[in-house]
Amino acid sequence: MKYNFNAGPSMLPREVVEATAQACLDFNGSGLSLMEIPHRSPEFRAVLQEARDLVRTLLDVPQDYEILFLSGGARMEFCRVPYNFLRRSAAYLDTGTWAFQAMHEASHFGQVITVASSRQEHYTHIPKGFEQRIPDQADYFHFTSNNTIYGTELRYDPESPVPLISDMSSDILSRPVEVSRYACIYAGAQKNLSMAGVNLVIVRRDALPPADRYIPMMLDYREHLAAGSMLNTPPVLPIYTALLNLRWLYRQGGVEEMDRRARERASVLYDEIGRNRLFRAVAREDSRSLMNICFVMDDEFAAREQDFLDFVEQRGIRNIRGHRSVGGFRASCYNAMPLEGVMALQQAMRDFEKQVLAGRV
């Protein structure tokens, strides 16, 4: 048994991986691979439509919002968002590498107002009271709901005088969201939704301001809306895997159930990190992510880092090395991570602690 804690691309339910493999060989009994069928065929249109419908159902997306499957990764949306929404100024919350890069991209389209930043504190927390500082003349307020690298999360829909836009790449579909507060929500697929290669974009049709600049066709949300995610050949395989995963999610009980599981998994690990003498958490308690649980060895045991990685490896626990800018460990616990995975990690932490304290390793 292997437990894959990678931050992205991340684990998917085994049955989703198997059904994807099957569709690569023979799609729906057609004798053709999913990769070979016309993307405008009724068969693929049905895939796209069902995926859209499931996102609408699972996140309770209102009718005046459109659901798009685009490509270019979440980082493409860092540029598409300001291209389409930024006319004069936009407010951004600087909570990590991704947030910062989104701001940098937007700065070429107008004024970027940093509402608050935790950059000076190595992004170990989400700044308090930022909601009161969002300027009401901004075109939108952008934030990253989950900071994948630093393990902090804003697990609610903030109050804002201007429309919200959020990068939800690493916690999409892990909790209910009040979509009506947002002009646009986007997410790269490879954390909680599918494999890399597709982005989910949820956009309110009338939130798009009249274009006052030339927008290249592939960057123009309006063009994508008009074409129903078929402006060019869509990434059929990642969209199909997204559909399979959305069906899985629905059968498991939807986003309320995903939220419950996320809380359960995170409390097991944060409790253990708090109890265990070898480790300490990276993020401040009030900002901790339920998705990416970042921890390091206490200074006293810093030399044991590689030993611990080797130790967990023997137990089938993979990819818990922290991001290079944080170090230590990161256990990414997305929707597909079973409770047994975190229990296995918890047990490994306990057993390793015993060994170290007994001076045996």
Ligand X SMILES: *Cc1c(COP(=O)(O)O)cnc(C)c1O
Among residues 94, 191, 220, 259, the one annotated as catalytic is 191
Q: Which of 19, 74, 115, 258 binds ligand X (CB under 6 A)?
A: 74
Q: Is 229 in the site for ligand X (CB under 6 A)?
A: no
98 tagged catalytic:
yes
Query: Smallest distance, Å, CB 301 to ligand X?
Result: 29
Q: Which of 151, 188, 322, 328 binds ligand X (CB under 6 A)?
A: 188
Contact 279, 273 (CB under 8 A): yes
C-alpha to C-alpha distance for 355 and 155, rounded to whole angstroms: 37
DSSP state of 189: T
Q: Which of 170, 229, 241, 287 binds ligand X (CB under 6 A)?
A: 170
64 tagged catalytic:
no
Q: Which of 39, 45, 56, 75 binds ligand X (CB under 6 A)?
A: 75
Number of Cα atoms under 13 Å in the Cβ half of residue 156? 8
26 tagged catalytic:
no
Q: Is 167 in the site for ligand X (CB under 6 A)?
A: yes
C-alpha to C-alpha distance for 60 and 77, rounded to whole angstroms: 22
Candidate segments 59-67, 69-77, 120-128, 315-323, binder of ligand X by CB under 6 A: 69-77
- Report the run of H or E that residue 254 belongs to, with start and end: helix 254-275
Q: Which of 144, 152, 319, 335 binds ligand X (CB under 6 A)?
A: 144
Which residues face 296 on adjacent strands?
A: 280
Query: Smallest distance, Å, CB 102 to ligand X?
Result: 8
Residue 255 CB contacts under 8 Å (≥ 6 apart), including other chains: 58, 59, 173, 174, 175, 176, 177, 249
C-alpha to C-alpha distance for 322 and 312, rounded to whole angstroms: 14
Residues making contact with ligand X (CB under 6 A): 8, 73-75, 98, 144, 148, 167, 169-170, 188, 191
Q: Which positions are annotated as active-site residues? A: 98, 167, 191
